[in-house]
């Protein structure tokens, strides 16, 4: 089980991949044995329009549409999700997170289909780099 307090961690709004990198770094430094049970999950789709519910940036009822989102998945007796931007608990059970965040009961248009890319946290720490050029408006 991962032992972290959300309020002791570094968080920057709209920098999900950097926030998760810093969380992985914290885990490596303080609970290295847990790192092998952690995966970083990229959520996106071909059109870079991913609807997610239960996000702080939303109004609570409607989804927020991100170009991508990054969370931490931790395996254990109960799989947990660490998402700084959710209105759910931190961490949230993976089951609750996926039901509340992705609303599988809703039939979305094909362009909103999501894909999930799992990267071992150890690999993420070794190879992470960030490029924010897509956020610059010309």
Candidate list 59, 69, 131, 134, residue with the active-site label = 69
Strands (E), the chain: 38-44, 50-52, 64-66, 69-74, 80-82, 92-93, 115-120
| Residues forming beta bridges with residue 120, ordered by sequence position | 39
Strand ranges for 23-130 from DSSP E: 38-44, 50-52, 64-66, 69-74, 80-82, 92-93, 115-120
Task: Find the catalytic residue in 24, 37, 38, 83.
Answer: 83
Residue 119 CA to chain centroid, in angstroms?
A: 12
134 is an active site residue: no
Closest CA to 87 of 6, 21, 19, 22: 6
Check if 69 is active-site. yes
From 8, 16, 24, 134, the catalytic residue: 16
Q: Give the residue numbers annotated as catalytic, written as ranges.
A: 16, 69, 83
């Amino acid at each position: 089980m991962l032992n972290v307090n959300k309020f002791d961690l570094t968080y920057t709004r709209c920098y999900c991949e950097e926030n998760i990198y810093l969380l992985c770094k914290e885990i490596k430094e303080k609970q290295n044995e847990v790192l092998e049970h952690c995966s970083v999950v990229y959520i996106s789709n071909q059109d870079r329009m991913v609807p997610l519910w239960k996000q702080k940036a939303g109004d609570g009822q409607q989804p927020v549409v991100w170009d991508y989102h990054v969370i931490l998945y931790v395996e254990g007796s109960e799989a947990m999700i660490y998402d700084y931007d959710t209105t759910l608990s931190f961490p949230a059970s993976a089951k609750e997170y996926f039901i509340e965040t992705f609303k599988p009961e809703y039939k979305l248009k094909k362009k909103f289909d999501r894909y999930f890319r799992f990267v071992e946290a150890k690999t993420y720490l070794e190879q992470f780099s960030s490029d924010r050029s897509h956020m610059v408006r010309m």
